[in-house]
Chain A
C-alpha cells in the first residue's frame, strides 16, 4: 500500500468514460447493490427455505398423526392453505429485507454516494422497488410452487392432496408470490420513510402483526368492521383458498393491499425528493 503513490496522469484514463444516468443504468446498479451484500443473500435464502420447506414439514407432521386427528379437523383441513403455510415466516424475512435495502443505506452513509450519483433521487427508489420486487416475485413464485407440489406429494399419503387445477389452487400459489412481493415493496417504502433499520422494522411488524391484535381488543362489532381492511388481512386473502366469510374477496383484498403499498411508495417518493439526505 505505502509503496503506491498515485500517478496522476493515469486519472484521465485510457479513454474518457462516456455514459449518463438512465433508469436502466440505475436498475443495474441496484441489482449489483442487492446481491453484493451478504445479509441480503442470507435473508433471501431464509425466505426461500421458509416458503418452500415449512409447508412440506407441516404436511409431513400432519400425515404422521392423521389417524389421531378428530373428524372435525379432518373435515375442515385445507390442502392448499396447509401447503403454503411457509408464507407466514417468509413474509418476515421479505419485510425485514425490504426495510433494510433502504435503511441500510442511511445507517452506513451509502445513501449520500447513491444520491451524488443519481441526484434526481427518484430513479434510485424506482430501481430498488423494481429489482427487489422482481427478485422477490421470481424466488417466491418458485418456492410457492415447490411448497405446493412437494406438500401435495406428502399429503397423498392419506389421499387428502389436491391438484394444481383444483379450485383456487393456482390463484393461491401465484397469490402467495404476489402478496410477498407487494409486502416487500411496502416495506421498502417504509424503510425510505423511516430511514432507520430498527424503526423501520418496528413499523413493519407493528403494521402487519401487531395491528390485527390491537383490533381484536376493540368491541367485536367494531373489530369485525375494521378487520377486513387491515393491510395484513386484506393482502392475505389472495393466498387463501377460501378466505373467511367476513373478509374481503381475494382480489378485492389484494387490490386494497396494493393501494396501501401505493400510498406508502408515493409518500416515500415525496419525502425522498423533499428531505435533505
Chain B
C-alpha cells in the first residue's frame, strides 16, 4: 500500500503538486492519469524520495522509500526521463544496479532475457532505439524482483507491438500479485489494464476510484439514444419536462436530461412505439476528457471550446 497524504511540491512560485492525497492498494494495477504537465512525474519523484515534498508525506507499506535497506526489492521504477548513462552497455548498467544490493550476475542475465534485449545487451545504451530503451528501463525496474512496480509513461513513443508488450507485461505483473502503479496521459491505454484510477490535473486530485465508477460517473450526463417511428410525438411528450432532444434523422433521437426509465415511461403513457432505448455510456477516453478539461494547463482555444461544448461544468469543477 502506497499512501500519499496532503502532498505538496512547490518550485518557487509554481505549485506542481497541490495537497494531493490518495492511496494505491496492493495487488492491482492502478492507473495514474492526467494531462501533460499535471504533476504526475513530480508526484512519482516525491513518492520515490528523489524530490523532497514542500508539505505532506508519502509512505510505502508504512515507511518512506528512503528508509528501506533494499529499496529495489521493494519498489521497481521506470521513470519517464531516461535515467541511464548512454555510454554504458545495458549489461553493465544493470550490473551496477544489481551490485548496489549485492544481487548476483545471474539475476542481471535473467532480467535481460525477460525483456528480450539479450542480443543488444553488450552494446552502448546510446545506440538503442526507443523501444529497446523502454525494455531496458523495465529490466532495471524488475531487477530486484520488487513487490511494487512504478512505471512512468511506459508506452510513450512505442510502436503498437511495443504497446502490446507493455500491456501484457502489466497484466502479467498484476497476475503475480504485484502492486502496479502506471502513469499515462493517454486514457485508452488504461482501459485495457487498470482496475483503479488516480486522476490528477494541475497537481490536484480529480478522481481516486475504480475504472468502472469513473466511467459511470462521467456517463451520468450522457445521452440516451431512442429509435422510434413516432419521433415527433416523442419529442412533444418530452418537450415539457425540461429535456433536450436532438438528432431526429430517420427516427433516431438523442435525449439528454432524462434517464432511460423516464423516457420509457413517457413513451408508454403516450402510447408511443419504441424500437430502441439505449443509455449511451461515455468511453473511458470521454470520461477522462470531461474530468480533466478544466485542469488542462496549456490548451488551445479551439480545444477548450471543443472540450467545453458538451460538458456539464460542475462535473469538471469537482476537482
User: Which residues in A have some Cβ–Cβ distance to B below 8 Å?
Assistant: 1-2, 4-14, 16-22, 25-26, 28-30, 32-33, 36-39, 104-105, 108-113, 115-120, 274, 276-277
Tell me which residues across on chain A come within 8 A of B86, comparing CB atoms.
108
Task: Report the separation of the CA atoms of residues A113 and B101 in the bound assembly, to the nearest whole angstrom.
Answer: 13
Chain A residues within 8 Å of B175, by CB: 8
How far apart sit A274 and B161, CA to CA, in the bound complex (Å)? 42
Q: A11-B145, A113-B84, A118-B71 are in contact. List 12 more A-B contacts (CB 8 A).
A: A6-B165, A7-B114, A11-B172, A16-B145, A17-B103, A25-B99, A36-B92, A108-B87, A109-B82, A116-B77, A119-B68, A119-B71
- Cα A16 to Cα B147 in complex, Å, equals 11
Contact with A along B91-133 (1 / 0, CB 8 A): 0110111011111100100100111110100000000000110
- Across the interface, do B145 and A8 meet the contact criterion of CB distance under 8 Å? no
Q: B161 and A11: CB pair below 8 A?
A: no
Q: Are A6 and B89 in contact (CB under 8 A)?
A: no
Residue of B nearest to A105 (CB): B85
Contact yes or no, B87 A38, CB < 8 A: yes
Binding site for A on B (CB under 8 A): 45, 48-52, 65-66, 68-73, 77, 79, 81-89, 92-93, 95-97, 99-104, 107, 110, 113-117, 119, 131-132, 140, 142-145, 161, 164-165, 168-169, 171-173, 175-176
Contact A37-B85, Cβ < 8 Å, known A5-B168, A17-B145, A32-B96: yes
Min CB gap B76→A, angstroms: 9
Closest to A277 in B: B50
Q: How far is the CB of B250 from chain A (nearest CB, A)?
A: 46
Minimum distance in angstroms from A224 CB to a CB of chain B: 45
Q: Select which of A21, A25, A33, A276 is within 8 A of B88 by beta carbon.
A: A33
Q: Does A276 contact B87, Cβ atoms closer than 8 Å? A: no
Contact A8 B100 (CB under 8 A): no
A17–B143 Cα distance when bound, in Å, is 9
Can you spell out 22 A-B residue pairs with CB atoms less than 8 angstroms apart? Answer: A8-B176, A12-B176, A13-B145, A14-B110, A17-B103, A19-B102, A25-B100, A25-B101, A32-B99, A33-B88, A33-B96, A108-B84, A109-B79, A110-B83, A112-B81, A113-B140, A116-B71, A117-B71, A117-B100, A119-B49, A119-B68, A276-B52
Q: Which of B72, B88, B165, B168 contacts A37 (CB 8 A)?
A: B88
Which A-B residue pairs are the 5 nearest by beta carbons?
A8-B172, A4-B116, A19-B102, A36-B92, A29-B99
**C-alpha gap A172/B49 in the complex (Å):** 46
Give Cα A270 to B145, complex, Å. 32
The CA-CA distance from A16 to B89 in the complex, in Å, is 25
Name the A residues within 8 Å of B83 (CB-CB): 109-113, 116
**Pair A11/B96 contact, Cβ less than 8 Å:** no
* Complex alpha-carbon distance, A1 and B162, angstroms: 10
Residues of B within 8 A of A13 (CB): 107, 110, 145
Q: How distant is the Cα of A21 from the Cα of B172 in the complex, in angstroms?
A: 28
A10 to B93, CA, bound (A): 21
Which residues of B are found within 8 Å of A30, using beta-carbon distances?
96
For B49, the closest partner residue in chain A by CB is A119
CB–CB A17/B68 < 8 A: no
| B140 A21 Cβ-Cβ under 8 A | no
Known A11-B145, A117-B101; contact A6-B66, beta-carbon cutoff 8 A: no
Flag if A32 contacts B173 (CB, 8 Å).
Answer: no
- Check A36 against B88 for contact (C-beta < 8 Å): yes
The answer to whether A9 touches B172 (Cβ under 8 A) is yes
- Which of A20, A32, A36, A276 contacts B69, CB < 8 Å? A20
In the complex, the answer to whether B172 meets A108 with C-beta atoms within 8 Å is no
A110 pairs with B99, CB closer than 8 A: no
**Bound-complex Cα distance A7 to B113 (A):** 10
> Do the beta carbons of A276 and B51 come within 8 Å of each other?
yes
In the complex with contacts A29-B99, A32-B99, A116-B48, A10-B113 CB distance below 8 A = yes
Question: How far in angstroms is the closest Cβ of chain B from A44?
Answer: 15
Chain B residues with CB under 8 Å of A26's CB are 99-100
Contact of B99 among A5, A28, A277 (CB under 8 A): A28
- Are B84's CB and A109's CB within 8 A? yes
Q: Whole-angstrom distance between the alpha carbons of A18 and B101 in the complex?
A: 8
* Contact partners of B66 in chain A: CB under 8 A: 119-120
A7 to B96: give the CA distance in the assembly, Å. 25
Closest to B70 in A: A20
Find out whether the CB atom of A112 lies under 8 angstroms from the CB atom of B79.
yes
Of A2, A4, A26, A118, the most chain B CB neighbours within 10 A belong to: A4
Give every chain A residue within 8 A of B70 (Cβ-Cβ): 19-21
Closest to B110 in A: A13
Q: In the assembled complex, which residues on chain B have CB atoms less than 8 Å from the CB atom of A14?
A: 110
From A6, A17, A112, contact of B144 by CB (8 A): A17
- Given A22-B102, A108-B85, the answer on whether A6 and B168 have CB atoms closer than 8 Å is yes
